[in-house]
Amino acid sequence: MIFFIRLLILVPVFSYEKSLQALSKYGRMEAVELEKEIDYEIS
């Protein structure tokens, strides 16, 4: 029973961290694209 409760707590936390990682990766990619566009416009 304790194991089941622990599982209920851990699974949402784990998936939340995964989605945060995905978001930060996506954000980083967008930031790089923006930097490229800005560099292109400056040069």
Per-residue confidence (pLDDT) for residue 3, from 0 to 100: 87
pLDDT the model gives residue 39 = 86
CA distance 21 to 12: 14
Mean pLDDT of 8-37: 83
Q: What is the model's pLDDT at position 28? A: 84
* Chain position carrying tokens 């945060």: 20
Quick one: pLDDT band at residue 7, thresholds 50, 70, 90?
A: confident
